[in-house]
Structure 1
Amino acid sequence: MHAPSPRTGAASLQGSVHPVAVPRRTSAAWITWVLYGVATFFVALVVLVLWFAIARPVQVLPRIEPAPAFMLTDQDGRWVSDTDLRGRVLIINFAHTRCGERCAVMEHSMRAIYDTLRTDGRLGTRVHLVTITVDADGDTPPVLRAYAARLGVETSKWIFLTGSARELKQLIGGGYGVYYRIEGNDVELDQRAVLVDGAGLLRAEYDGARLDPAIVMRDIGLVEQEANSSEVARPIYEMAHLFVCYPR
């Protein structure tokens, strides 16, 4: 037998060696681009959050909770429910006709809001004022009607409501969380007013003793702007809620 020549052996070895595949860089590049895209997205999100927090391009009122339902009697003895007033912004205050000087600020402020809304044409069509008494025994429909006449307001646009002591306590004390106590002729009341939007959501609460008509009018405008916004603008308003862009 002849031993294979060195040249033949080398050729045989070379023929049996397979070429080594060079790894492609495509997958690595793809991962890099994905990571770059994710990083860019989060940077843009942070910038957007900061922009909304600082610039506050759109302001909204918080959606606090659904306003309590009610079925009460107005100054003319007719039943009025919360659903009867749906679709309109409501400025509701809680008071009683014997409050006098203790409720003077709230009474004057409500009247100023009434006059402003009447002047610009929104009163009775887009916005209603509602006074709910806490005094079931003293504030009967005739008493409320006389009170409205003393204020010189139209009861189709500023409604005065009463009910039984139990109904009022459940609504005002339980539903709205307003404290009041009646002992004989003495009425102790935590003066309060609220804004309810056309969808029946509680959007703002005010200290009645410091009720500022300018702030209430601003808030009515914010609620109306949001309600009347276009489909294109809706996501912007939702972002304003998400980023808590509330008036300061």
Structure 2
Amino acid sequence: MQETNRKVWLRSVTLVCIAAIVLCTVYWVQQGTNPLPKIKVAPEFSLQNLKGEQVKLSDTGGKVRLVEFFFANCTTICPVTTSNMVLMQNNLKEKKKFGKSVAFLSITFDPERDTPEALEKYASLLGIDQAAGWQLLRGNESDVIKTANDFGIMAVKQKDGQFAHSIRSLFLIDQEGMIRKIYDMGDSMDNKVIEKDIKKLSKSS
């Protein structure tokens, strides 16, 4: 009788453990697949690439976009941010996603100093692949500041020509033009999180 009770008890414990493992697995899967929130519609803009061609945000519709606001003479968060984006660019190229389903757009605050020639040098120095799927954009100063403000970024030109701006100036935009996440720039960036979010959105297309 005791042996029978022991077997029943062991079977019950086993079933409880299996049920707990199943529930935990379901929870972990759901945690990884929860959709990113839709923050707001990304503002449309029309700026110039380094060839002088007009580029609109909507021109890259159907792709996941990572939009960066920067200026090349920045010596702190901007080069760190761009360097991190280059690492992500290279990873996405290996996965055959960069350019095909993912695009990067970098908009300068400082078109006066960030001439096409200066930005070509910046791109070459940092390893930006413009041919694959990354565009550096500029315009007159009022246009780029308006674009930044439309995205909710306040950029103020200092007396030394530098720009003070929010460190949250990196936007993840989905295929339909919705802002899905805003990231810190510079040393606060987490490439793994950003790549995971890009992957999540690109899978939803």
Query: What is the Cα deviation at residue 188 of structure 1?
Result: 1.3
Q: Which of residues 173, 198, 201 in structure 1 aligns to 2:178? A: 201
Computed over aligned residues only, the root mean square deviation of the Cα atoms, in angstroms, reads 1.8
In structure 1, runs of 5+ residues without a counterpart are 1-50, 228-248
Query: What is the Cα deviation at residue 128 of structure 1?
Result: 0.7
Correspondence for 1:168 = 144
Correspondence for 2:9 = none
> Once the two structures are superposed, what CA deviation does each residue of 1:90-116 show, in whole Å capped at 9, x if it has no partner?
111111000123434312211111111
Question: Is residue 100 from structure 1 mapped to residue 78 from structure 2 by the alignment?
Answer: no
* Alignment coverage as a number of residue pairs: 174
- Partner AA of 2:51 in structure 1: D
Task: Answer whether contact 1:179 1:189 (CA < 8 A) is retained.
Answer: yes
Correspondence for 1:67 = 42
Correspondence for 1:136 = 111
Task: Answer whether contact 2:171 2:183 (CA < 8 A) is retained.
Answer: yes
Correspondence for 1:216 = 194
Matches of 1:153 and 1:186 in 2, distance apart? 22
Correspondence for 1:112 = 87
Task: Answer whether contact 2:69 2:106 (CA < 8 A) is retained.
Answer: yes
Task: Answer whether contact 2:74 2:162 (CA < 8 A) is retained.
Answer: no
TM-score by length of 2: 0.79
Correspondence for 2:17 = none
> Once the two structures are superposed, what CA deviation does each residue of 1:185-225 show, in whole Å capped at 9, x if it has no partner?
22212232010111111111001131111011110111122
Matches of 1:186 and 1:131 in 2, distance apart? 17
The sequence identity of aligned pairs, in percent, is 25
Query: What is the Cα deviation at residue 165 of structure 1?
Result: 1.3
- CA radius of gyration, larger in: 1
Question: Is residue 226 from structure 1 mapped to residue 204 from structure 2 by the alignment?
Answer: yes
Correspondence for 2:162 = 186
